[in-house]
Structure 1
Amino acid sequence: MGLFHSLDDVERHALDAERTTERPGLLQGLEPRIKVVGLLALVIAATATHSLLTLSALFALAVLLGLASNVSVFRLARQVWLGVLLFTGAIALPSLFLVPGATIARLPLLGWEISAQGVRSAAFLLGRAETSATFAALLVLTTPWPHVLKALSSLGVPDAIVAVLGMTYRYIFVLLRTAGEIMEARRSRIMSRMDRSARRRLLITTLGALLGKSLALAQDVHTAMIARGYRGQVRLLNDFRTRGRDWLFLAATLLVPASIYGLSL
Protein backbone atom coordinates (compact mmCIF):
# COMPACT_ATOMS: atom_id res chain seq x y z
CA MET A 1 0.00 0.00 0.00
CA GLY A 2 3.02 2.29 0.20
CA LEU A 3 2.84 3.10 -3.48
CA PHE A 4 -0.82 4.05 -3.24
CA HIS A 5 -0.05 6.27 -0.24
CA SER A 6 2.58 8.04 -2.35
CA LEU A 7 0.08 8.53 -5.17
CA ASP A 8 -2.45 9.89 -2.71
CA ASP A 9 0.18 12.37 -1.50
CA VAL A 10 0.71 13.58 -5.08
CA GLU A 11 -3.02 14.04 -5.63
CA ARG A 12 -3.42 15.73 -2.26
CA HIS A 13 -0.61 18.14 -3.15
CA ALA A 14 -2.30 19.03 -6.46
CA LEU A 15 -5.67 19.60 -4.77
CA ASP A 16 -4.04 21.78 -2.12
CA ALA A 17 -2.40 23.84 -4.86
CA GLU A 18 -5.79 24.33 -6.52
CA ARG A 19 -7.29 25.50 -3.23
CA THR A 20 -4.50 28.06 -2.89
CA THR A 21 -5.60 29.68 -6.16
CA GLU A 22 -9.04 30.32 -4.63
CA ARG A 23 -7.77 32.09 -1.50
CA PRO A 24 -7.93 35.88 -1.28
CA GLY A 25 -4.58 37.44 -2.02
CA LEU A 26 -2.64 39.96 -4.07
CA LEU A 27 -1.73 37.73 -7.00
CA GLN A 28 -5.03 35.81 -6.96
CA GLY A 29 -6.84 39.08 -7.69
CA LEU A 30 -4.80 39.92 -10.79
CA GLU A 31 -5.75 39.13 -14.37
CA PRO A 32 -3.87 35.99 -15.53
CA ARG A 33 -2.31 37.53 -18.66
CA ILE A 34 -0.96 40.46 -16.68
CA LYS A 35 0.31 38.06 -14.05
CA VAL A 36 2.15 35.92 -16.61
CA VAL A 37 3.83 38.90 -18.25
CA GLY A 38 4.66 40.61 -14.94
CA LEU A 39 6.17 37.57 -13.26
CA LEU A 40 8.06 36.71 -16.46
CA ALA A 41 9.53 40.23 -16.38
CA LEU A 42 10.70 39.62 -12.80
CA VAL A 43 12.26 36.31 -13.85
CA ILE A 44 14.11 38.11 -16.65
CA ALA A 45 15.26 40.72 -14.15
CA ALA A 46 16.60 38.00 -11.84
CA THR A 47 18.56 36.37 -14.65
CA ALA A 48 19.85 39.64 -16.09
CA THR A 49 21.12 41.39 -12.97
CA HIS A 50 24.83 41.44 -12.21
CA SER A 51 24.42 42.59 -8.62
CA LEU A 52 24.00 40.24 -5.69
CA LEU A 53 22.28 43.02 -3.78
CA THR A 54 19.68 43.44 -6.54
CA LEU A 55 19.24 39.68 -6.73
CA SER A 56 18.67 39.53 -2.98
CA ALA A 57 16.09 42.31 -3.27
CA LEU A 58 14.26 40.38 -6.01
CA PHE A 59 14.24 37.26 -3.86
CA ALA A 60 12.84 39.27 -0.96
CA LEU A 61 10.20 40.67 -3.34
CA ALA A 62 9.22 37.12 -4.33
CA VAL A 63 8.80 36.19 -0.67
CA LEU A 64 6.71 39.30 0.00
CA LEU A 65 4.49 38.56 -2.99
CA GLY A 66 4.01 35.04 -1.66
CA LEU A 67 3.05 36.27 1.80
CA ALA A 68 0.67 38.83 0.30
CA SER A 69 -0.94 35.98 -1.67
CA ASN A 70 -1.38 33.62 1.32
CA VAL A 71 1.52 31.39 0.22
CA SER A 72 3.55 30.59 3.32
CA VAL A 73 7.33 30.69 3.52
CA PHE A 74 7.27 27.08 4.76
CA ARG A 75 5.45 25.98 1.62
CA LEU A 76 7.88 27.79 -0.65
CA ALA A 77 10.82 26.29 1.23
CA ARG A 78 9.40 22.76 1.05
CA GLN A 79 8.14 22.81 -2.52
CA VAL A 80 10.62 25.13 -4.24
CA TRP A 81 13.71 26.17 -2.36
CA LEU A 82 14.83 22.79 -1.06
CA GLY A 83 14.62 21.07 -4.46
CA VAL A 84 16.37 23.94 -6.25
CA LEU A 85 19.07 24.03 -3.55
CA LEU A 86 19.83 20.33 -3.93
CA PHE A 87 19.87 20.34 -7.73
CA THR A 88 21.47 23.72 -8.45
CA GLY A 89 23.75 23.45 -5.43
CA ALA A 90 25.25 20.27 -6.83
CA ILE A 91 25.97 22.11 -10.09
CA ALA A 92 27.31 25.24 -8.41
CA LEU A 93 29.54 23.47 -5.87
CA PRO A 94 32.50 22.76 -8.23
CA SER A 95 32.75 26.45 -9.14
CA LEU A 96 33.97 27.16 -5.60
CA PHE A 97 37.19 25.35 -6.43
CA LEU A 98 37.43 25.58 -10.24
CA VAL A 99 36.89 29.31 -10.82
CA PRO A 100 40.26 31.07 -10.53
CA GLY A 101 40.63 34.03 -8.22
CA ALA A 102 41.78 35.22 -4.82
CA THR A 103 41.86 32.41 -2.27
CA ILE A 104 39.66 33.01 0.76
CA ALA A 105 39.71 29.55 2.36
CA ARG A 106 41.01 26.01 2.00
CA LEU A 107 39.08 22.80 2.26
CA PRO A 108 40.36 20.78 5.25
CA LEU A 109 42.21 17.52 4.51
CA LEU A 110 41.98 17.89 0.72
CA GLY A 111 43.58 21.33 0.66
CA TRP A 112 41.42 22.60 -2.21
CA GLU A 113 41.39 26.38 -2.53
CA ILE A 114 38.09 28.27 -2.43
CA SER A 115 38.23 31.48 -4.45
CA ALA A 116 36.20 34.64 -3.92
CA GLN A 117 35.19 34.63 -7.58
CA GLY A 118 34.05 31.02 -7.24
CA VAL A 119 31.86 31.88 -4.27
CA ARG A 120 30.38 34.80 -6.23
CA SER A 121 29.67 32.60 -9.26
CA ALA A 122 28.00 29.94 -7.11
CA ALA A 123 25.94 32.59 -5.30
CA PHE A 124 24.72 34.05 -8.60
CA LEU A 125 23.78 30.63 -10.00
CA LEU A 126 21.96 29.54 -6.88
CA GLY A 127 20.31 32.93 -6.30
CA ARG A 128 19.03 33.23 -9.86
CA ALA A 129 17.65 29.70 -9.79
CA GLU A 130 15.92 30.15 -6.43
CA THR A 131 14.45 33.54 -7.33
CA SER A 132 13.23 32.50 -10.78
CA ALA A 133 11.73 29.27 -9.44
CA THR A 134 9.92 31.20 -6.70
CA PHE A 135 8.31 33.59 -9.18
CA ALA A 136 7.27 30.65 -11.39
CA ALA A 137 5.83 28.78 -8.41
CA LEU A 138 3.83 31.84 -7.37
CA LEU A 139 2.24 31.94 -10.82
CA VAL A 140 1.12 28.31 -10.59
CA LEU A 141 0.05 28.51 -6.94
CA THR A 142 -2.10 31.62 -7.42
CA THR A 143 -3.64 30.92 -10.84
CA PRO A 144 -5.94 28.03 -11.85
CA TRP A 145 -4.18 25.87 -14.41
CA PRO A 146 -6.82 26.39 -17.17
CA HIS A 147 -6.40 30.16 -16.72
CA VAL A 148 -2.63 29.82 -17.10
CA LEU A 149 -3.12 27.88 -20.34
CA LYS A 150 -5.60 30.40 -21.72
CA ALA A 151 -3.29 33.28 -20.79
CA LEU A 152 -0.38 31.61 -22.59
CA SER A 153 -2.56 30.99 -25.64
CA SER A 154 -3.83 34.59 -25.73
CA LEU A 155 -0.24 35.86 -25.45
CA GLY A 156 0.76 34.03 -28.63
CA VAL A 157 2.22 30.77 -27.33
CA PRO A 158 1.67 28.10 -30.05
CA ASP A 159 -1.44 25.98 -29.54
CA ALA A 160 0.64 22.79 -29.75
CA ILE A 161 2.69 23.80 -26.69
CA VAL A 162 -0.42 24.82 -24.76
CA ALA A 163 -2.10 21.51 -25.62
CA VAL A 164 0.94 19.52 -24.48
CA LEU A 165 1.07 21.41 -21.18
CA GLY A 166 -2.63 20.90 -20.58
CA MET A 167 -2.59 17.19 -21.44
CA THR A 168 0.52 16.56 -19.37
CA TYR A 169 -0.96 18.08 -16.24
CA ARG A 170 -4.38 16.49 -16.70
CA TYR A 171 -3.31 12.93 -17.39
CA ILE A 172 -0.14 12.52 -15.36
CA PHE A 173 -2.35 11.57 -12.41
CA VAL A 174 -4.15 8.97 -14.52
CA LEU A 175 -0.82 7.43 -15.49
CA LEU A 176 0.41 7.46 -11.89
CA ARG A 177 -2.74 5.74 -10.74
CA THR A 178 -2.45 3.18 -13.56
CA ALA A 179 1.17 2.46 -12.61
CA GLY A 180 0.14 1.92 -9.01
CA GLU A 181 -2.63 -0.46 -9.97
CA ILE A 182 -0.31 -2.49 -12.23
CA MET A 183 2.32 -2.82 -9.51
CA GLU A 184 -0.24 -3.75 -6.86
CA ALA A 185 -1.87 -6.33 -9.14
CA ARG A 186 1.47 -7.98 -9.86
CA ARG A 187 2.50 -7.98 -6.21
CA SER A 188 -0.78 -9.61 -5.19
CA ARG A 189 -0.01 -12.53 -7.51
CA ILE A 190 3.52 -13.17 -6.21
CA MET A 191 3.66 -15.86 -3.54
CA SER A 192 7.34 -15.67 -2.53
CA ARG A 193 10.04 -13.07 -2.08
CA MET A 194 11.63 -11.98 -5.37
CA ASP A 195 15.36 -11.66 -5.91
CA ARG A 196 16.94 -8.59 -7.52
CA SER A 197 16.93 -10.06 -11.01
CA ALA A 198 13.23 -10.88 -10.80
CA ARG A 199 12.44 -7.41 -9.44
CA ARG A 200 14.30 -5.81 -12.35
CA ARG A 201 12.35 -7.92 -14.84
CA LEU A 202 9.12 -6.98 -13.09
CA LEU A 203 9.99 -3.31 -13.27
CA ILE A 204 10.87 -3.51 -16.98
CA THR A 205 7.68 -5.34 -17.90
CA THR A 206 5.63 -2.88 -15.82
CA LEU A 207 7.21 0.06 -17.63
CA GLY A 208 6.43 -1.60 -20.96
CA ALA A 209 2.80 -2.18 -19.98
CA LEU A 210 2.48 1.39 -18.74
CA LEU A 211 3.94 2.73 -22.00
CA GLY A 212 1.43 0.73 -24.02
CA LYS A 213 -1.47 1.91 -21.86
CA SER A 214 -0.32 5.53 -22.04
CA LEU A 215 -0.08 5.45 -25.85
CA ALA A 216 -3.54 3.91 -26.13
CA LEU A 217 -4.95 6.42 -23.65
CA ALA A 218 -3.39 9.36 -25.50
CA GLN A 219 -4.86 8.21 -28.81
CA ASP A 220 -8.32 7.65 -27.32
CA VAL A 221 -8.32 11.02 -25.55
CA HIS A 222 -7.12 12.89 -28.64
CA THR A 223 -9.78 11.25 -30.81
CA ALA A 224 -12.49 12.08 -28.26
CA MET A 225 -11.36 15.72 -28.03
CA ILE A 226 -11.31 16.15 -31.81
CA ALA A 227 -14.78 14.62 -32.04
CA ARG A 228 -16.03 17.22 -29.54
CA GLY A 229 -14.66 20.16 -31.48
CA TYR A 230 -11.27 20.70 -29.82
CA ARG A 231 -8.88 22.66 -32.06
CA GLY A 232 -6.06 23.43 -29.65
CA GLN A 233 -7.59 26.51 -28.01
CA VAL A 234 -8.40 26.77 -24.31
CA ARG A 235 -11.96 28.00 -23.75
CA LEU A 236 -13.35 29.20 -20.43
CA LEU A 237 -16.81 30.34 -19.38
CA ASN A 238 -15.47 33.64 -18.03
CA ASP A 239 -13.43 36.12 -20.07
CA PHE A 240 -10.38 37.97 -18.78
CA ARG A 241 -10.96 41.57 -17.76
CA THR A 242 -8.07 43.94 -17.14
CA ARG A 243 -8.54 46.55 -14.42
CA GLY A 244 -6.56 49.48 -13.13
CA ARG A 245 -4.63 47.50 -10.49
CA ASP A 246 -3.61 45.01 -13.17
CA TRP A 247 -2.00 47.73 -15.26
CA LEU A 248 -0.34 49.15 -12.15
CA PHE A 249 1.16 45.74 -11.31
CA LEU A 250 2.33 45.30 -14.91
CA ALA A 251 3.96 48.75 -15.00
CA ALA A 252 5.75 48.09 -11.69
CA THR A 253 7.08 44.70 -12.77
CA LEU A 254 8.19 45.92 -16.20
CA LEU A 255 10.01 48.81 -14.54
CA VAL A 256 12.29 46.38 -12.65
CA PRO A 257 14.11 44.81 -15.66
CA ALA A 258 14.07 48.17 -17.46
CA SER A 259 15.85 49.77 -14.49
CA ILE A 260 18.39 46.95 -14.32
CA TYR A 261 19.10 47.28 -18.03
CA GLY A 262 19.39 51.06 -17.78
CA LEU A 263 21.82 50.91 -14.87
CA SER A 264 24.01 48.36 -16.66
CA LEU A 265 24.56 50.64 -19.67
Structure 2
Amino acid sequence: MESTANISIKTTSRRKRKSRGFIERTLFSLVSQFENAIVAEEIARKKGLLQSIDPRVKIIGLVLLIIDATLSRNIFTVLIIFAAAVFVAILSKVSIKTLATRAWLSAFTFTGAIALPAIFTTAGDVLFRLPLLNWAVTEQGVKTASFLLIRVETTVTLSFLLVLCTLWTHILKALRVLGVPVVFVVILGMTYRYIFVMLETARNMFEARQSRLVGTLTPVESRRIAAASVGVLMTKSFYLNNEVYLAMQSRGFRGEVYTLDDFKMKPSDWIAMAAFVLFAAATLWLGQMDNLIFVK
Protein backbone atom coordinates (compact mmCIF):
# COMPACT_ATOMS: atom_id res chain seq x y z
CA MET A 1 0.00 0.00 0.00
CA GLU A 2 2.81 2.40 0.88
CA SER A 3 4.62 1.72 -2.39
CA THR A 4 1.40 2.26 -4.31
CA ALA A 5 0.80 5.54 -2.47
CA ASN A 6 4.36 6.67 -3.14
CA ILE A 7 4.00 5.87 -6.83
CA SER A 8 0.70 7.78 -6.89
CA ILE A 9 2.26 10.81 -5.19
CA LYS A 10 5.25 10.81 -7.56
CA THR A 11 2.97 10.49 -10.58
CA THR A 12 0.79 13.34 -9.34
CA SER A 13 3.81 15.57 -8.70
CA ARG A 14 5.18 14.84 -12.16
CA ARG A 15 1.80 15.63 -13.73
CA LYS A 16 1.60 18.83 -11.70
CA ARG A 17 5.03 19.96 -12.83
CA LYS A 18 4.16 19.04 -16.39
CA SER A 19 0.79 20.85 -16.28
CA ARG A 20 2.44 24.02 -15.03
CA GLY A 21 5.29 23.79 -17.49
CA PHE A 22 3.66 26.05 -20.08
CA ILE A 23 2.97 28.91 -17.67
CA GLU A 24 6.36 28.63 -15.96
CA ARG A 25 8.20 28.54 -19.28
CA THR A 26 6.25 31.56 -20.50
CA LEU A 27 7.03 33.51 -17.33
CA PHE A 28 10.70 32.57 -17.58
CA SER A 29 10.79 33.75 -21.20
CA LEU A 30 9.14 37.07 -20.35
CA VAL A 31 11.50 37.69 -17.45
CA SER A 32 14.44 36.85 -19.72
CA GLN A 33 13.35 39.54 -22.17
CA PHE A 34 13.35 42.14 -19.40
CA GLU A 35 16.78 40.94 -18.27
CA ASN A 36 18.08 41.26 -21.83
CA ALA A 37 16.83 44.84 -21.99
CA ILE A 38 18.54 45.66 -18.70
CA VAL A 39 21.79 44.05 -19.87
CA ALA A 40 21.63 46.01 -23.13
CA GLU A 41 21.26 49.29 -21.24
CA GLU A 42 24.14 48.36 -18.94
CA ILE A 43 26.38 47.66 -21.93
CA ALA A 44 25.37 50.98 -23.52
CA ARG A 45 26.55 52.77 -20.37
CA LYS A 46 29.95 51.07 -20.25
CA LYS A 47 33.13 52.91 -21.15
CA GLY A 48 33.96 51.17 -24.40
CA LEU A 49 35.01 52.19 -27.90
CA LEU A 50 31.58 52.54 -29.50
CA GLN A 51 30.03 53.92 -26.33
CA SER A 52 32.44 56.87 -26.44
CA ILE A 53 31.59 57.80 -30.04
CA ASP A 54 28.87 60.27 -30.98
CA PRO A 55 25.64 58.43 -31.88
CA ARG A 56 25.46 60.21 -35.24
CA VAL A 57 28.91 58.94 -36.14
CA LYS A 58 27.98 55.41 -35.10
CA ILE A 59 24.81 55.41 -37.18
CA ILE A 60 26.55 56.76 -40.29
CA GLY A 61 29.61 54.53 -39.96
CA LEU A 62 27.81 51.27 -39.19
CA VAL A 63 25.19 51.88 -41.87
CA LEU A 64 27.99 52.41 -44.41
CA LEU A 65 29.53 49.09 -43.41
CA ILE A 66 26.15 47.36 -43.65
CA ILE A 67 25.76 48.74 -47.19
CA ASP A 68 29.28 47.55 -48.06
CA ALA A 69 28.54 44.05 -46.79
CA THR A 70 25.31 44.00 -48.79
CA LEU A 71 26.91 45.21 -52.04
CA SER A 72 30.04 43.08 -51.78
CA ARG A 73 30.52 40.56 -54.59
CA ASN A 74 32.98 38.29 -52.79
CA ILE A 75 32.91 36.62 -49.42
CA PHE A 76 36.48 37.62 -48.61
CA THR A 77 35.49 41.28 -48.18
CA VAL A 78 32.49 40.34 -46.06
CA LEU A 79 34.76 38.29 -43.81
CA ILE A 80 37.01 41.32 -43.36
CA ILE A 81 34.03 43.44 -42.30
CA PHE A 82 32.83 40.68 -39.99
CA ALA A 83 36.26 40.38 -38.35
CA ALA A 84 36.40 44.15 -37.91
CA ALA A 85 32.93 44.12 -36.32
CA VAL A 86 33.97 41.43 -33.84
CA PHE A 87 37.16 43.34 -33.02
CA VAL A 88 35.18 46.54 -32.40
CA ALA A 89 32.71 44.57 -30.25
CA ILE A 90 35.54 43.35 -28.03
CA LEU A 91 36.88 46.90 -27.67
CA SER A 92 33.34 48.00 -26.81
CA LYS A 93 33.16 45.42 -23.99
CA VAL A 94 30.58 43.27 -25.75
CA SER A 95 31.39 39.64 -25.05
CA ILE A 96 31.55 36.99 -27.76
CA LYS A 97 29.02 34.99 -25.77
CA THR A 98 26.54 37.86 -25.98
CA LEU A 99 27.04 38.11 -29.73
CA ALA A 100 26.74 34.36 -30.19
CA THR A 101 23.59 33.87 -28.13
CA ARG A 102 21.71 37.04 -29.04
CA ALA A 103 22.78 37.68 -32.64
CA TRP A 104 24.65 34.91 -34.39
CA LEU A 105 22.56 31.93 -33.31
CA SER A 106 19.21 33.36 -34.40
CA ALA A 107 20.64 34.70 -37.65
CA PHE A 108 22.31 31.37 -38.39
CA THR A 109 19.11 29.42 -37.71
CA PHE A 110 16.84 31.63 -39.81
CA THR A 111 19.27 32.20 -42.69
CA GLY A 112 20.44 28.59 -42.66
CA ALA A 113 16.89 27.37 -43.16
CA ILE A 114 16.57 29.68 -46.17
CA ALA A 115 19.99 28.94 -47.66
CA LEU A 116 19.93 25.17 -47.14
CA PRO A 117 18.03 24.34 -50.38
CA ALA A 118 20.62 26.27 -52.40
CA ILE A 119 23.28 23.63 -51.82
CA PHE A 120 21.05 21.10 -53.61
CA THR A 121 19.32 23.24 -56.25
CA THR A 122 22.31 25.24 -57.53
CA ALA A 123 23.86 23.68 -60.61
CA GLY A 124 27.59 23.03 -60.53
CA ASP A 125 30.32 20.56 -59.63
CA VAL A 126 29.02 17.77 -57.42
CA LEU A 127 30.92 17.39 -54.15
CA PHE A 128 28.99 14.40 -52.80
CA ARG A 129 25.52 12.92 -52.68
CA LEU A 130 23.33 12.26 -49.66
CA PRO A 131 23.30 8.50 -48.96
CA LEU A 132 19.56 7.88 -48.78
CA LEU A 133 18.02 10.69 -50.84
CA ASN A 134 20.76 10.74 -53.48
CA TRP A 135 20.63 14.53 -53.58
CA ALA A 136 23.70 16.16 -55.07
CA VAL A 137 25.55 18.80 -53.04
CA THR A 138 27.33 21.15 -55.44
CA GLU A 139 30.38 23.31 -54.85
CA GLN A 140 28.63 26.39 -56.24
CA GLY A 141 25.65 25.73 -53.98
CA VAL A 142 27.85 25.55 -50.88
CA LYS A 143 29.60 28.80 -51.85
CA THR A 144 26.28 30.56 -52.46
CA ALA A 145 24.81 29.40 -49.14
CA SER A 146 28.00 30.30 -47.26
CA PHE A 147 28.10 33.73 -48.87
CA LEU A 148 24.50 34.46 -47.89
CA LEU A 149 25.06 33.17 -44.36
CA ILE A 150 28.18 35.20 -43.62
CA ARG A 151 26.64 38.32 -45.19
CA VAL A 152 23.58 38.09 -42.94
CA GLU A 153 25.73 37.37 -39.88
CA THR A 154 27.84 40.44 -40.65
CA THR A 155 24.91 42.82 -41.10
CA VAL A 156 23.19 41.46 -38.00
CA THR A 157 26.38 41.92 -35.96
CA LEU A 158 26.76 45.52 -37.09
CA SER A 159 23.11 46.31 -36.38
CA PHE A 160 23.33 44.60 -33.02
CA LEU A 161 26.38 46.64 -32.05
CA LEU A 162 24.58 49.86 -32.90
CA VAL A 163 21.58 49.01 -30.74
CA LEU A 164 23.57 47.45 -27.91
CA CYS A 165 26.18 50.20 -27.56
CA THR A 166 23.80 53.15 -27.85
CA LEU A 167 20.93 54.22 -25.63
CA TRP A 168 17.62 54.03 -27.46
CA THR A 169 16.79 57.69 -26.81
CA HIS A 170 20.14 58.69 -28.29
CA ILE A 171 19.44 56.62 -31.40
CA LEU A 172 16.08 58.33 -31.91
CA LYS A 173 17.57 61.78 -31.35
CA ALA A 174 20.46 61.05 -33.72
CA LEU A 175 18.02 59.93 -36.40
CA ARG A 176 16.14 63.22 -36.12
CA VAL A 177 19.37 65.22 -36.25
CA LEU A 178 20.35 63.33 -39.40
CA GLY A 179 17.08 64.31 -41.05
CA VAL A 180 15.00 61.16 -40.64
CA PRO A 181 11.26 62.05 -40.93
CA VAL A 182 9.33 62.53 -37.72
CA VAL A 183 6.82 59.83 -38.69
CA PHE A 184 9.55 57.20 -38.84
CA VAL A 185 10.96 58.26 -35.46
CA VAL A 186 7.47 58.20 -33.93
CA ILE A 187 6.91 54.66 -35.21
CA LEU A 188 10.22 53.49 -33.75
CA GLY A 189 9.58 55.21 -30.43
CA MET A 190 6.08 53.80 -30.10
CA THR A 191 7.21 50.32 -31.07
CA TYR A 192 9.94 50.32 -28.44
CA ARG A 193 7.61 51.46 -25.66
CA TYR A 194 4.77 49.25 -26.86
CA ILE A 195 6.94 46.12 -26.72
CA PHE A 196 7.79 46.68 -23.06
CA VAL A 197 4.19 47.50 -22.17
CA MET A 198 3.05 44.26 -23.80
CA LEU A 199 5.76 42.25 -22.07
CA GLU A 200 4.71 43.70 -18.72
CA THR A 201 1.05 42.96 -19.47
CA ALA A 202 1.80 39.39 -20.51
CA ARG A 203 3.91 38.78 -17.42
CA ASN A 204 1.20 40.09 -15.10
CA MET A 205 -1.41 38.00 -16.88
CA PHE A 206 0.54 34.75 -16.59
CA GLU A 207 1.50 35.46 -12.98
CA ALA A 208 -2.19 35.95 -12.16
CA ARG A 209 -3.02 32.71 -13.96
CA GLN A 210 -0.33 30.80 -12.08
CA SER A 211 -1.40 32.17 -8.68
CA ARG A 212 -4.94 30.91 -9.29
CA LEU A 213 -3.91 27.48 -10.54
CA VAL A 214 -5.02 24.71 -8.17
CA GLY A 215 -4.55 21.02 -8.83
CA THR A 216 -3.41 19.46 -12.07
CA LEU A 217 -4.35 20.28 -15.64
CA THR A 218 -4.96 17.86 -18.44
CA PRO A 219 -3.27 18.46 -21.80
CA VAL A 220 -6.60 19.62 -23.21
CA GLU A 221 -7.01 22.18 -20.42
CA SER A 222 -3.44 23.38 -20.89
CA ARG A 223 -4.05 23.99 -24.58
CA ARG A 224 -7.33 25.75 -23.80
CA ILE A 225 -5.62 28.06 -21.31
CA ALA A 226 -2.86 28.79 -23.80
CA ALA A 227 -5.37 29.67 -26.54
CA ALA A 228 -7.42 31.82 -24.16
CA SER A 229 -4.30 33.64 -22.96
CA VAL A 230 -3.25 34.43 -26.51
CA GLY A 231 -6.74 35.74 -27.29
CA VAL A 232 -6.82 37.96 -24.21
CA LEU A 233 -3.33 39.25 -24.96
CA MET A 234 -4.33 40.15 -28.52
CA THR A 235 -7.40 42.00 -27.24
CA LYS A 236 -5.29 43.94 -24.76
CA SER A 237 -2.75 44.74 -27.48
CA PHE A 238 -5.38 46.48 -29.60
CA TYR A 239 -6.55 48.43 -26.56
CA LEU A 240 -3.04 49.37 -25.44
CA ASN A 241 -2.07 50.49 -28.93
CA ASN A 242 -4.16 53.63 -28.62
CA GLU A 243 -3.47 54.03 -24.90
CA VAL A 244 0.31 54.07 -25.37
CA TYR A 245 0.08 56.67 -28.12
CA LEU A 246 -2.24 58.91 -26.08
CA ALA A 247 0.01 58.55 -23.02
CA MET A 248 3.03 59.61 -25.08
CA GLN A 249 1.16 62.59 -26.50
CA SER A 250 -0.10 63.66 -23.07
CA ARG A 251 3.53 63.83 -21.95
CA GLY A 252 4.44 66.15 -24.79
CA PHE A 253 5.83 63.67 -27.32
CA ARG A 254 5.50 64.98 -30.89
CA GLY A 255 8.20 62.97 -32.59
CA GLU A 256 11.11 65.07 -31.38
CA VAL A 257 13.40 63.33 -28.90
CA TYR A 258 14.89 65.45 -26.12
CA THR A 259 17.65 64.17 -23.89
CA LEU A 260 19.82 65.68 -21.17
CA ASP A 261 22.90 65.00 -23.30
CA ASP A 262 23.63 67.35 -26.20
CA PHE A 263 25.47 65.95 -29.19
CA LYS A 264 28.78 67.73 -29.68
CA MET A 265 31.44 66.44 -32.01
CA LYS A 266 34.77 65.95 -30.26
CA PRO A 267 38.14 65.43 -31.99
CA SER A 268 37.86 61.71 -31.26
CA ASP A 269 34.48 61.66 -33.02
CA TRP A 270 35.96 63.22 -36.16
CA ILE A 271 38.76 60.64 -36.07
CA ALA A 272 36.19 57.86 -35.73
CA MET A 273 34.19 59.32 -38.63
CA ALA A 274 37.30 59.41 -40.81
CA ALA A 275 38.16 55.82 -39.86
CA PHE A 276 34.64 54.65 -40.69
CA VAL A 277 34.64 56.42 -44.07
CA LEU A 278 38.10 55.19 -45.07
CA PHE A 279 37.37 51.61 -44.05
CA ALA A 280 33.99 51.71 -45.79
CA ALA A 281 35.57 53.08 -48.97
CA ALA A 282 38.29 50.41 -48.90
CA THR A 283 35.84 47.55 -48.37
CA LEU A 284 33.51 48.96 -51.05
CA TRP A 285 36.37 48.97 -53.56
CA LEU A 286 37.57 45.55 -52.46
CA GLY A 287 34.06 44.13 -52.55
CA GLN A 288 33.64 44.88 -56.25
CA MET A 289 36.60 42.70 -57.24
CA ASP A 290 35.74 39.29 -58.64
CA ASN A 291 39.25 37.85 -58.86
CA LEU A 292 39.66 37.34 -55.12
CA ILE A 293 39.56 34.02 -53.36
CA PHE A 294 36.20 32.73 -52.20
CA VAL A 295 34.43 34.28 -55.17
CA LYS A 296 30.68 34.09 -55.08
Structure showing greater Rg: 2
**Same fold, TM-score > 0.5, yes or no:** yes
CA offset digits 1:202-256 (Å, max 9, x no partner): 3333223223323333323322332332211111122101122222222222234
Q: Residue 246 of structure 1 corresponds to which residue in structure 2?
A: 269
Q: Residue 200 of structure 2 corresponds to which residue in structure 1?
A: 177
Matches within 5 A, 1:209-224: 209-224=232-247
1:9 is aligned to 2:32: yes
Q: Residue 105 of structure 1 corresponds to which residue in structure 2?
A: 128
Tell me: CA distance 1:261–1:189, structure 2 relative to 1, closer, same or farther (3 Å): closer
**Identity of paired residues, percent?**
44
Q: Residue 148 of structure 1 corresponds to which residue in structure 2?
A: 171
**Deviation of the 1:195 alpha carbon:** 4.2
Match of 2:94, SS state, is coil
CA offset digits 1:30-52 (Å, max 9, x no partner): 00011001001111111111122
| TM-score w.r.t. length of structure 1 | 0.91
Aligned mates of 2:64, 2:101 — CA distance in 1: 25
Aligned mates of 2:150, 2:34 — CA distance in 1: 30
Match of 1:109, SS state, is coil
Q: Which runs of 5+ in 1 are unaligned?
A: none
Match of 1:104, SS state, is strand
Aligned mates of 1:178, 1:171 — CA distance in 2: 10
Match of 1:105, SS state, is strand
CA offset digits 1:11-36 (Å, max 9, x no partner): 11111111111111111110001100
Aligned mates of 2:169, 2:59 — CA distance in 1: 13
Of the two structures, which has the highest relative contact order with CA contacts closer than 8 Å and spacing of 6 or more? 2
Tell me: CA distance 1:82–1:64, structure 2 relative to 1, closer, same or farther (3 Å): same
Conserved in 2, the CA contact under 8 Å of 1:45 and 1:256?
no
1:74 is aligned to 2:97: yes
The alignment covers a number of residue pairs equal to 265
Aligned mates of 1:18, 1:86 — CA distance in 2: 26
**Deviation of the 1:9 alpha carbon:** 1.8
Matches within 5 A, 1:13-52: 13-52=36-75
Q: Which runs of 5+ in 2 are unaligned?
A: 1-23, 290-296
Matches within 5 A, 1:75-90: 75-90=98-113
Question: Considering only aligned residues, what root-mean-square deviation do their CA atoms show, in Å?
Answer: 2.1
Tell me: CA distance 1:125–1:197, structure 2 relative to 1, closer, same or farther (3 Å): same
Partner residue of 2:118 out of 91, 95, 99: 95
**Deviation of the 1:257 alpha carbon:** 3.9
Aligned mates of 2:142, 2:86 — CA distance in 1: 24
**Deviation of the 1:2 alpha carbon:** 4.1
What is the one-letter code of the residue matched to 1:224?
A
**Deviation of the 1:191 alpha carbon:** 4.6
